[in-house]
Amino acid sequence: MKGQMLWPTLKKACVRLKTDRRALILLVAGLLAMAAIVLFGAKKEKAAPAADEPAAVFSEQALHDQLTALLSCVRGAGKTEVMLTFESGSETVYAADTDAAFDRKDSGESDTRKSDVVLVKSGTSESGLRVKEVFPRVRGVAVVCEGGANAVIREQIISLVTALFDIKSTNVSVAEMAAKEESA
């Protein structure tokens, strides 16, 4: 019964929309507003990452240990020691609100830039909004292993290290480990 009553009401509304342009505009605006709420309002707000906690932690020691363990798994490499050098230290990039203005009055050129770090409140404190963490890039690797005198093992180690760190083979050195003399 409700369906029978709804049809004439919809028919009248359609006739009115055809003749009254304002009603049509209001209907379209309402539908667009509902669509925007469904599309954009349904997303849950993500909490801003804590500015005092790094998203990921870089550890030179952990990288050193992982590389040492990996290279010692190469057949024939034997006991392995590794040393890594880096281009720079870790760097944190913060979000910035930048205003730029360029004023050109009769060739009296002027360039004004202002940049402020975006702050995030966490409880009662404020800190910068971290955009990304840039970890140091490996510049060179020295490997000393028991099998370092073997050309095939040396080439395998150089190939592994250059692939892992995207560095040139000239930045990787592989040497044979000195034999430990036993005291009598």
Question: Is it the case that residue 42 has pLDDT exceeding 70?
Answer: no
Q: Which amino acid is at 173?
A: S
Pure H helices in the chain: 2-19, 21-36, 60-72, 151-165
Mean pLDDT of the chain: 77
The predicted model scores a pTM of 0.53
DSSP string, 85-119: EESS--EEEE-EEEEEEEEEETTEEEEEEEEEEPE
Check: CATH 1.20.120.1760 for 60-90+134-176?
no
Q: What is the pLDDT of residues 50-82, one digit of tens each?
A: 544 545 677 888 889 999 999 999 999 999 999
CB 52 within 8 A of CB 122: yes
In the prediction, which pLDDT does 94 show? 78
> What percentage of the chain has pLDDT greater than the value 90?
34
